[in-house]
Structure 1
Amino acid sequence: MAAKTTHFKVSNGDMTLIETGDGHTIIVDINIRAAADDPSDDTPDVAKQLRECLSRDNEGRLCVNAFLLTHPDADHCRGLEKHFHLGPLGDWKKADDKIVIREMWSSPIVFRRASRNHTLCSDAKAWAAEARRRVRHFRANGYAYDGDRIKILGEDESGKTDDLTEILIVGGDVFQTICGVTDNTFSGHLLAPLLAEDEEEAEFLSKNNSSVVINISLGKSDLHNPSYYLLGGDAEVGIWEKLWGKYGDDPSQFQYDILIAPHHCSWHSLSWDSWSDFGEDAEVSEDARSAVGQPMSGATILASSKEIKDDDADPPCVRAKREYKSILEPVKGTFTCLGELSGDAPLEFEITSSGGPKQKERSAKAKIAAPAILGLAGAAAGSQSALGSQPFKHGDDD
């Protein structure tokens, strides 16, 4: 089957569904606002749209194979408790008909950094509690099945994840497993979060929105000529600078066919200077721009935000929009703001054998067959090759 991605219209927030060529579904963040649940409101009903994309298991439960939370801000996890089942599968109730999360992808260090700076919303607290439950289950049993699975993205501080190597993805690792099985049409290259090297850096990281940053490869039938999706949640300028310092010798680590503009097209992901304070005098961080400035030929940058206006707002920021369009010019790419598209339907891309993701018209979705429940498998590791300083291009089909 063809891999595809669906990008929901959630104003200033993130909500992306990935469907792999092997039939796995991965939801990255959600922002299901109360208005979206109100039939009398014209806000897109993204919960209904998501449910239409998913399949039911043999017990009649709607399932998503994996749920990646980039960080615990409300606009990335809003609606979790209302729409997703939390707790053991035995507690699932048909009357509630909530979506089952077969495997959570969660970062403990991001939660620690967030909690030092602001109070977590109820949905974020619920996510953290469920993640802890699943980790306890794994520690007690040494294995986990659907509904209890968790993948830990990034090491925790003080060696707290040292005994979780079977479910731990260290920064820099590449993995291909989803729900314990290898997906030959998917890989995830985890770039962040990274552990702080000293106390000074730990303090620095705690002052920035540190999110999971991941470069996902998707293929139609394998990964011979994949499409790349760079996702960074709300990662700000300091994080992108740090990542460029670590991986910048190999720019292909950041290559993308589609970039979700960090922090809803915020200027703070590209500059230390405030847009409202400095205006056109605000300076771009060259390292941060380099990290998000590695598009493939014909790439797309998506702003998951409300309409971008020529004013002092941030996010979304008109100056950031201009910078991203400048990044795309050499590769004849496209900048798209979801909040500026007409209608309620989400934006969809289909992964082709060559030429990168292709935008497709909204149509009725076929249900995806739910993969069988299998045991745990080890994470695959690998690396991406350097492609030099020229614009990245897809090859031809063999």
Structure 2
Amino acid sequence: MEIHFLDVGCGNMTLWLFPDGPTWMCDCNITDENEDAVMRYLAKTMSGRRNIHAFICSHRDADHMRGIKKLHKAYPLGGIWDNGVQGTTTDSPEYREYMDLRRQLKHGEIQAGSSETIGEVVVSWLHSKDQNYSDANDQSIVVKIDFNGSSALLASDTSYAPWKGKLVRQYGAKLKSNILLAAHHGSITFFDDPSDTQHYYTAHIQTISPAMTLISVGPNVHGLPDKKAVELYEKYSSGSNQGNKVFTTEEKGNMKLVLQGDGAWTLNVGQ
């Protein structure tokens, strides 16, 4: 099972190549500046695949759906699935473009607690729309991909809140994953619980217990990735065989994760 983390600046874009054939994309952030590089990488990586069978939008923010019509033109999407939450950028051209394409294609909402089995791969949708959380980011889709005991967990833009209030209690040890895609481009909100001014919340990262944490980030005005967040990801990631704990797309470029089964995995950078 291959998962490609594309270098798309301060946004998310991951390509999932299932061993039994289907091709899925989670999020999109194609800009005028990165379009040529992204399309070259996809042309190389798709290896003759002409379609993307499913597009997953973790939440309807511009940096997770920007350029979706460009993607659809190059690799027609079989359908669009998201969390059904309006999002925080409803007045943006990216939002209007996304919703227009969503209406044209087969579409639906992903339900938290559901899963799909594709060959030997299990995709578990751990979190999605939840009216207990007013913040649209905290209703982002959280997904775990497991291939015979090798796994990756994508935290989308969630803060500490759904993890503390629900996910750690509900899933426990099932959250454990080899690779973690850090939340919200390395924001400290994943750890910073305003109700505790003395300690950072870390029960979720300790439960996930990743070997490595990957951060999808690029130049931005928000100070991401946050230095303290990186410090915490490094502290609670056990490290690869080479001792690597945290990589960012800004530093390493496109990254290719191969889940090999039985807990084994490889990560190639600068692809």
The interval holding the TM-score normalised by the smaller chain is 0.7 to 0.9
Q: Are 1:75 and 2:63 matched, yes or no?
A: yes
In the alignment, which residue of structure 2 is the partner of 1:338?
A: 249
Offset at residue 320 of structure 1 (A): 0.1
Q: Are 1:242 and 2:165 matched, yes or no?
A: yes
* Cα distance in 1 between the residues matched to 2:211 and 2:25: 22
Offset at residue 230 of structure 1 (A): 0.9
In the alignment, which residue of structure 2 is the partner of 1:172?
A: 113
Q: Are 1:20 and 2:8 matched, yes or no?
A: no
SS of the residue corresponding to residue 211 of structure 2 reads: strand
SS of the residue corresponding to residue 84 of structure 1 reads: helix
Identical amino acids, percent of aligned pairs: 21
In the alignment, which residue of structure 1 is the partner of 2:178?
A: 257
SS of the residue corresponding to residue 163 of structure 2 reads: helix
Structure 1 residues 81 and 284: CA distance shift in structure 2, 3 A: same
Listed one character per residue, the Cα deviations across residues 11-38 of structure 1 (whole Å, up to 9, x for unaligned) are 2111111111112211111111111136
Q: Are 1:48 and 2:36 matched, yes or no?
A: no
In the alignment, which residue of structure 1 is the partner of 2:125?
A: 190
Q: Are 1:320 and 2:229 matched, yes or no?
A: yes
Listed one character per residue, the Cα deviations across residues 82-106 of structure 1 (whole Å, up to 9, x for unaligned) are 3314xxxxxxxxxxxx320113222
One-letter amino acid of the counterpart of residue 184, structure 1: G
Structure 1 residues 316 and 282: CA distance shift in structure 2, 3 A: farther
Q: Are 1:284 and 2:213 matched, yes or no?
A: no
Runs (5+) with no aligned partner, structure 1: 39-44, 86-97, 135-147, 155-170, 177-182, 219-224, 274-280, 364-398
Q: Is the 8 A contact 1:15 1:27 kept in 2?
A: yes
Determine which of 106, 127, 130 is the counterpart of 2:98.
127
Listed one character per residue, the Cα deviations across residues 253-308 of structure 1 (whole Å, up to 9, x for unaligned) are 311111110000100111135xxxxxxx77312xxx22233345x72100111379
In the alignment, which residue of structure 2 is the partner of 1:153?
A: 110
* Cα distance in 2 between the residues matched to 1:123 and 1:207: 17
* Cα distance in 1 between the residues matched to 2:204 and 2:108: 26
In the alignment, which residue of structure 2 is the partner of 1:168?
A: none
Q: Are 1:350 and 2:262 matched, yes or no?
A: no
Structure 1 residues 120 and 230: CA distance shift in structure 2, 3 A: farther
* Cα distance in 1 between the residues matched to 2:198 and 2:38: 36
Q: Are 1:299 and 2:211 matched, yes or no?
A: yes
Q: Is the 8 A contact 1:267 1:314 kept in 2?
A: no
* Number of aligned positions between the proteins: 269
Listed one character per residue, the Cα deviations across residues 164-213 of structure 1 (whole Å, up to 9, x for unaligned) are xxxxxxx112222xxxxxx21222111112433xxxx3xx4246542111
Structure 1 residues 17 and 330: CA distance shift in structure 2, 3 A: closer
One-letter amino acid of the counterpart of residue 234, structure 2: K
4+ runs of 1 displaced by more than 4 Å? 330-333
Structure 1 residues 125 and 240: CA distance shift in structure 2, 3 A: farther
Runs (5+) with no aligned partner, structure 2: none
SS of the residue corresponding to residue 102 of structure 1 reads: coil
Q: Is the 8 A contact 2:126 2:167 kept in 1?
A: no
One-letter amino acid of the counterpart of residue 125, structure 1: R
Offset at residue 69 of structure 1 (A): 0.7
Based on CA coordinates, which of the two structures has the bigger radius of gyration?
1
Listed one character per residue, the Cα deviations across residues 22-75 of structure 1 (whole Å, up to 9, x for unaligned) are 12211111111111136xxxxxx1122123322667xxxx31122111011111
Offset at residue 359 of structure 1 (A): 1.7
TM-score (norm 2): 0.86
Structure 1 residues 226 and 21: CA distance shift in structure 2, 3 A: farther
Q: Is the 8 A contact 2:11 2:63 kept in 1?
A: yes
